[in-house]
Chains A and B, each alone.
Chain A
Amino acid sequence: LAKTTQPISMDSYEGQEVNITCSHNNIATNDYITWYQQFPSQGPRFIIQGYKTKVTNEVASLFIPADRKSSTLSLPRVSLSDTAVYYCLMAGNTGKLIFGQGTTLQVKP
């Protein structure tokens, strides 16, 4: 099955913009890209989803280029509370979901 690839970890400082890229070379026509955030001792929670171009909500932005083989989650002006694991999910009309390893973001003061 197709899978996604993300960096294992990233460090940032408070107030900076953080961009986490996910590669999905085998993306299918009906696949969407969804990002989840997970804090320690909690289940993951939905952040943002897109199909192509740019999507923005109150938490983040998601950039998907025309070829859709990658996507970038952008977190503006991170704070310490954004320290978490971020998962990229590529999936369409299927029950089988492959989340991958996730990216551990550490925000430092």
Chain B
Amino acid sequence: EAQVTQNPRYLITVTGKKLTVTCSQNMNHEYMSWYRQDPGLGLRQIYYSMNVEVTDKGDVPEGYKVSRKEKRNFPLILESPSPNQTSLYFCASSLIYGGHNEQFFGPGTRLTVL
């Protein structure tokens, strides 16, 4: 089944404890991206990657890192999480970059930073 998977689905952590949220797609998509979703703010893009080893900042990149060493994986790294990073996170992928390409979203990761 073609899909985007994220792990973990739920995570509670404490301020300053480094964490990684994994994202993987099995559709051979070149483009991948991360979003956070907060009440009243909709979906905001954190980082995106147009291909392996090519990443760039989205709208809200502060406090996050990403890497794209393989085509199928695009992990989101929080080096020192803070409470304002408590949010619902979505990973997405599409065949190539560009908003005119259908974005396939993962199921989401709900992160709570205490």
Contact = CB atoms under 8 A, between A and B. Distances in A.
B106 A43 contact: yes
B74 interface: no
A91 to B, nearest CB: 2
Contacts, number: 77
Interface string A82-109: 0000010111111111111110000000
Nearest to B55: A95
Interface residues on B, range: 20 to 34
A96 B43 contact: no
A77 interface: no
A32 B103 CA distance: 13
Nearest to B41: A101
Interface stretch (A14-22, A44-52, A57-65, A67-75): A44-52
B11 to A, nearest CB: 15
B85 to A, nearest CB: 19
Contacts of A36: 103
A29 interface: no
A81 interface: no
B33 interface: yes
Interface of A: 31-32, 34, 36, 41-46, 49, 87, 89-102
Given A44-B103, A92-B98, A95-B49, 13 more contacts: A34-B100, A43-B92, A87-B42, A91-B99, A92-B100, A94-B99, A95-B31, A95-B33, A95-B48, A95-B98, A97-B58, A99-B42, A101-B41
Interface of B: 4, 31, 33, 35, 40-45, 48-50, 56, 58-59, 90, 92, 97-100, 102-108
24 contacts: A36-B103, A43-B90, A44-B43, A44-B90, A44-B103, A46-B103, A87-B43, A91-B98, A92-B100, A93-B98, A95-B31, A95-B97, A95-B98, A96-B45, A96-B56, A96-B58, A97-B45, A97-B48, A97-B103, A100-B42, A100-B43, A101-B41, A101-B42, A102-B42
